[in-house]
Chain A
Amino acid sequence: MDGNIVGYALHYSGILIEAALILYVARSSHGNRPLSVLPYLSCLLAADLARAYTLREYGLTSRQYSYIYWSTDFLLVISAFFLVCLFFRRACLHQEKMWRFVRLLLAFICLLVVGISGLLFSHNYGNLLTGFIVEFNQNLYFTCLVLNTLLYLLLQQIDSADDQLGLLVCGVGIQFAGPAATLALFHLMTGEGFAQSLAHFTIPLCTIGMLLVWAYAVVHVKDTATQVTRRQIPVLAEVTAHFNIQV
């Protein structure tokens, strides 16, 4: 019972933080608001609300809850992939050549995940929900974790001054890595009570961790990506002015 209360408290506080962060980012007039996190945050909030409602109305073992759980999970995984793509775009904001290559790579990876999931699904036909979607979600989820780590390495490689993006990427890393480790442990311990209760707490805790890191990044860290663009304009203007004077 106590465990349930803590679980519910974590779940609902996660929903509250998500809503507060969406409102803050959407309403803030500062230049440093990262709009790229809004689609993922909105999907997270919608998924949490839908799951909470279905759980209360139909119960944990109902077919309705199962449908809602897996379809919202599908939505979340797609939006997570989209989020990582947006972060890549922001990282390559001033490097168009690199972005062209990264864009192709991301499209290829997405197709590869769809292909592999389809192939695995074709070997054991079941219904679409427990077959293809579960397989696809797991594969794309782990791919997002790997892509996020590659993005972090890319930021180090290009010596990015965008601290806000760095923190946003770290938040995503916490959100992806924690549940992946917990679910792997759950799988290894074949669903024992300890692993089950660990998964029950760590997954919402990791989500809250990500939201708090994002909140810190949004509130305290300036978006230097746009500042770099601003800094380039006077240089161009200066050169043009110099050219005009010369002419």
Chain B
Amino acid sequence: MILAALILILSTAMFFFYFQVTCQKILRRQFDREYFQSIVNANRLEFPSLRKSLEEFGAPVDYPRLRMMLKCDFLALTYLLKNAANVNQRYSNEERLLILYFRWQFLSLAVRRLLKVGEKKAVLRLTSVLQYFANVVGQRVNTVRFGNLTAADYLLNL
């Protein structure tokens, strides 16, 4: 009985650990340039300023506002992921996994808020997911706009 309980606790912890590590490895993917800036500017997303204030100033967080900012950015970006320059109009497997990860971290943020432990870490993880999504959308838009055009073709079409 005790052994089974021990295996249950250890295995569940390991499962969530591996899930988190897998998501973080996917998030570490390098893009050839910072595509997210244009998407952030065009859609007035707030996560970069939020991350900057947390990283640089460690500013105290207004929790309800922070939650709202993250949620709005998440909704905007997931909509764009599905509909902007996406021929299949559906998420890829890694995007689904990261959406699940975002929801999991969002829940963990609420728990951390209650326990007052490591809120900043959870917020930074959430912003890194949003940045990844913005990079993917930016890259797709960029590919569609200039996909089949050479520089000369583009100038001729102006």
Please give the residue numbers on chain A whose beta carbons come within 8 Å of chain B beta carbons, in ascending order.
Answer: 142, 145, 149, 152, 163, 166-167, 170-171, 173-174, 176-178, 180-181, 184-185, 187-188, 212-213, 215-216, 220
Partner of B7, one of A163, A166, A167, A180: A180
SS class of chain A's interface: helix, strand, loop or mixed? helix
Minimal beta-carbon separation of B99 from chain A (angstroms)? 14
Name A184's contact: one of B4, B22, B25, B93 (CB within 8 Å): B4
Bound together, the chains give a CA A173 to CA B22 distance in angstroms of 10
> Residue B107 at the A interface, CB < 8 A?
no
CB pair A188 B1 closer than 8 Å: yes
The residue in B4, B5, B15, B25 that gathers the most chain A C-beta atoms within 10 A of its C-beta is B15
Closest to A175 in B: B18
Question: B-side binding surface: helix, strand, loop or mixed?
Answer: helix
Chain B contacts for A167, CB-based, 8 A: 22, 25
**Given A184-B5, A184-B8, A188-B8, A177 and B22 contact (CB-CB distance below 8 Å):** no
Lowest 9 CB-CB distances: which A-B pairs, in order? Answer: A173-B18, A181-B11, A184-B8, A180-B11, A177-B15, A177-B14, A184-B7, A170-B22, A187-B4
Alpha-carbon distance between A181 and B19 when the two chains are bound, in angstroms:
14
Q: How many residues of B contact A (CB 8 A)?
A: 21
**Closest CB of chain A to B3's CB: distance in Å?**
9
Contacts of A181 in B (CB 8 A): 7-8, 11-12, 15
Q: How far is the CB of A34 from chain B (nearest CB, A)?
A: 15
Point out the residue from A170, A174, A188 that lies within 8 Å of B25, measured CB to CB.
A170
With A184-B4, A188-B1, A220-B29 in contact, is A174–B12 under 8 Å at CB? no
**Contact partners of B97 in chain A: CB under 8 A:** 212
Assembly CA distance A145 to B7 (angstroms): 11
Interface assignment of B94: CB less than 8 Å from any CB of chain A:
yes
- The residue of chain A having its C-beta at the shortest distance from the C-beta of B18 within the complex is A173
In angstroms, how far is the closest chain B Cβ from the Cβ of A222?
11
Contacts of A180 in B (CB 8 A): 7, 11, 14
Given A184-B5, A216-B93, A173-B11 contact (CB < 8 Å)? no
* A174 and B19 contact, CB distance less than 8 A: yes
Q: Say whether A163 contacts B28, CB under 8 Å.
A: yes
Contact between A149 and B14 (Cβ–Cβ < 8 Å)?
yes
Q: Does B26 contact A (CB under 8 A)?
A: yes
Say if the beta carbon of B57 comes within 8 Å of chain A: no
**Which A residues are in CB contact (< 8 Å) with B94?**
216, 220
Q: Which residue of B lies closest to A206 (CB)?
A: B15
Check A184–B11 contact: CB distance below 8 A.
yes
Which residues of chain B come closer than 8 Å to A163, judged between CB atoms?
25, 28
Please, which residue of chain A has its CB at the minimum distance from the CB of B97?
A212
Closest A residue to B20 by beta carbon equals A170
Residues of A within 8 A of B11 (CB): 145, 177-178, 180-181, 184
Least Cβ distance of A160 to chain B in Å? Answer: 12
Residues of chain A contacted by B26 (CB below 8 angstroms)? 216
Q: Whose C-beta in chain B lies nearest to the C-beta of A152?
A: B21
Task: Tell me which of A142, A184, A187, A220 has the highest count of chain B C-beta atoms within 10 A of its own C-beta.
Answer: A184
- Contacts A216-B93, A216-B94 given; indicate if A177 touches B8 (C-beta within 8 A): no
